[in-house]
């Protein structure tokens, strides 16, 4: 059946409007990139991808690292400076390859920023849809503004961190899983492993739940896609796994504190490391208990445990950075959807106040503690607010989210095949 002319013109008009907006954003981003050097997260992988695919040089090599440092610092990195070395799995070049074909770094960075901005909007939208949150127009606008402007969105956007795409992939995987499209869910979860330190625990949780629930298509497509990605990596660079492991192990040596334990040790040299290890141990035990409980439960319990796992991942001893906390945006949506379902108008007020506190408070903490060198350096204090906030609020809503009364909380309990 042929589409009606009016409908076709409407679709073309919408597509044209979107393209104009994206083109305008790219122009703005290009001006920003030229006036504000940086984007080092993107720079590392832009140079690394070009080195591998255009020059035949390992992205993990000293030669590639020197090229990156020359572009970032105008010289080799000095002792104590960030060495700006590639630490992603080699198959991540598939994400950066289209941008690596652009010879002008500023233009490539502008295009990349446009992609990340579009991903941020989609992430915010799908976070709301995922938990079937039905906010008022004011709450909807507030959450979109928050999703785009809070610190944990702006930092990875300016730095060019692919974690925004990882966050979108996680939400897409959860939405596909809820719609019982297990094949797509498995593919999306596997693709998020371009940043394995961010997703290793949640992907493990997906596999545990999938096996227990006998969702074999989910398990097979996730594992199968991961095997294919690893195999493609060997085709691109036969020794990539060992080279990547070497870079992962050396990364904490030149990076600012990347775990809660390391941050505590820098503040309290005598006892900080022990305190951090105790916190990590307690959180690991909590996670094991919740996994054991949630693995045999339906999707609503799985989703709550997924977000708890993602939150705990930031404090359990795995190398990370507050710039990765954008992956926690959907967890906030779950909390606020539950508040509004449970307390209606009071919940809306509570949501608005909390959004304002998080938006202003985290930016205030960054601005009041930032140190300046070649580039602004965030304080390790930023490891604390959001994970602590989510640990408290996720347990606050646990009963309603995990075992919701049908009359109160149908959003997550019901499968929704119209998420996409």
Please give the pLDDT value at position 415.
Answer: 47
Please give the pLDDT value at position 380.
Answer: 86
Closest C-alpha among 58, 41, 148, 57 to residue 95: 41
Calpha distance 180→135 (Å, rounded) = 25
Calpha distance 220→375 (Å, rounded) = 44
Helix (H) or strand (E) holding 386: helix 385-396
Give domain status of residue 19, yes or no.
no
**Contact by Cβ (8 Å): 175, 420:** yes
- Please enumerate, as own/partner, the contacts of 231-234 that have beta carbons within 8 Å and a separation of 24 or more: 232/91, 232/94, 233/89, 233/90, 233/91
Calpha distance 334→331 (Å, rounded) = 5
* 369-to-180, 250, 377, 379 alpha-carbon distances in Å: 45, 27, 9, 6
Helix (H, G, I), strand (E, B) or coil at 372: strand
Give domain status of residue 9, yes or no.
no
pLDDT tens per residue, range 361-416? 999 999 999 887 666 788 889 999 999 999 999 999 999 888 765 444 444 444 45
Please give the pLDDT value at position 374.
Answer: 61
Lowest mean pLDDT among 15-24, 60-69, 164-173, 349-358: 15-24
Whether the predicted model's global pTM rises above the 0.75 cut? yes
DSSP alpha helix (H) spans, 237-270 = 240-254, 260-267
**Contact by Cβ (8 Å): 163, 195:** yes
Q: Which domain holds residue 46?
A: 37-410
- Output the average pLDDT for the chain: 91
Calpha distance 281→390 (Å, rounded) = 18
- Do the strands 376-377 and 371-372 form a parallel or antiparallel pair, or are they unpaired? antiparallel
DSSP alpha helix (H) spans, 237-319 = 240-254, 260-267, 272-294, 299-312
CB atoms within 10 A of CB 241: 14
pLDDT tens per residue, range 109-124? 999 999 999 999 999 9
* 92-to-81, 173, 192, 235, 298 alpha-carbon distances in Å: 25, 18, 10, 13, 33
Please give the pLDDT value at position 413.
Answer: 44
Give domain status of residue 7, yes or no.
no
pLDDT band at 40 (very low <50, low <70, confident <90, very high): very high
Lowest mean pLDDT among 179-188, 207-216, 398-407: 398-407
Instruction: Say how many domains are in the chain.
Output: 1
Largest CA distance in the chain: 74
Give domain status of residue 161, yes or no.
yes
Give domain status of residue 302, yes or no.
yes
Give domain status of residue 3, yes or no.
no
Give domain status of residue 359, yes or no.
yes
Helix (H, G, I), strand (E, B) or coil at 129: helix
Give domain status of residue 235, yes or no.
yes
- Binning the chain into helix, strand and coil, the percentages to the nearest 5 are 75, 0, 25
- Alpha-carbon Rg for the chain, nearest whole angstrom, is 22
pLDDT tens per residue, range 259-280? 888 888 888 888 888 998 999 9
């Amino acid at each position: 059946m042929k589409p009606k002319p009016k409908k076709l013109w409407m679709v073309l008009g919408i597509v044209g409007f979107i393209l104009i907006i994206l083109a305008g954003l790219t122009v703005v981003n290009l001006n920003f990139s030229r006036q504000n050097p940086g984007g080092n997260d993107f720079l590392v992988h832009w140079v690394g991808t070009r080195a591998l695919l255009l020059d035949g040089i390992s992205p993990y090599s000293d030669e590639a690292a020197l090229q990156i440092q020359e572009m970032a610092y105008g010289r080799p990195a000095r002792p104590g400076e960030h060495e700006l070395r590639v630490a992603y799995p080699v198959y991540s070049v598939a994400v950066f390859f289209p941008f690596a074909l652009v010879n002008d770094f500023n233009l490539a960075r502008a295009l990349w920023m446009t992609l990340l901005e579009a991903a941020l909007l989609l992430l915010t939208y799908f976070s709301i849809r995922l938990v079937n949150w039905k906010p008022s127009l004011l709450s909807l606008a507030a959450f979109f503004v928050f999703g785009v402007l809070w610190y944990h969105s702006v930092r990875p956007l300016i730095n060019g961190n692919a974690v925004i795409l990882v966050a979108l992939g996680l939400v897409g995987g959860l939405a596909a899983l809820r719609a019982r499209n297990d094949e797509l869910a498995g593919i999306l979860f596997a693709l998020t492993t371009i940043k394995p330190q961010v997703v290793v625990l949640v992907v493990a949780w997906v596999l545990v739940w999938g096996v227990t629930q006998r969702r074999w298509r989910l398990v097979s497509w996730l594992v199968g896609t991961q095997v294919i990605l690893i195999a493609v990596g060997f085709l691109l660079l036969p020794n990539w796994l060992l080279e990547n492991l070497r870079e992962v192990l050396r990364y904490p040596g030149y990076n600012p504190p990347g775990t809660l334990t390391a941050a505590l040790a820098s503040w309290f040299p005598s006892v900080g490391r022990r305190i951090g290890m105790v916190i990590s141990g307690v959180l690991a035990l909590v996670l094991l208990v919740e996994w054991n409980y949630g693995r045999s439960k339906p999707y609503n319990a799985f989703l709550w445990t997924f977000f708890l796992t993602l939150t705990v991942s930031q404090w359990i001893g795995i190398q990370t950075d507050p710039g990765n906390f954008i992956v926690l945006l959907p967890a906030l949506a779950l909390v606020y959807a539950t508040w509004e379902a449970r307390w209606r108008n009071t919940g809306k007020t509570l949501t608005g106040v909390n959004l304002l506190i998080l938006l202003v408070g985290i930016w205030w903490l960054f601005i009041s503690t930032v140190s300046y060198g070649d580039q602004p350096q965030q304080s390790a204090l930023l490891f604390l607010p959001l994970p602590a906030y989510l640990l408290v609020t996720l347990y606050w809503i646990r009963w309603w989210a995990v075992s919701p009364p049908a009359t109160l909380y149908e959003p997550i309990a019901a499968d929704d095949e119209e998420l996409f």
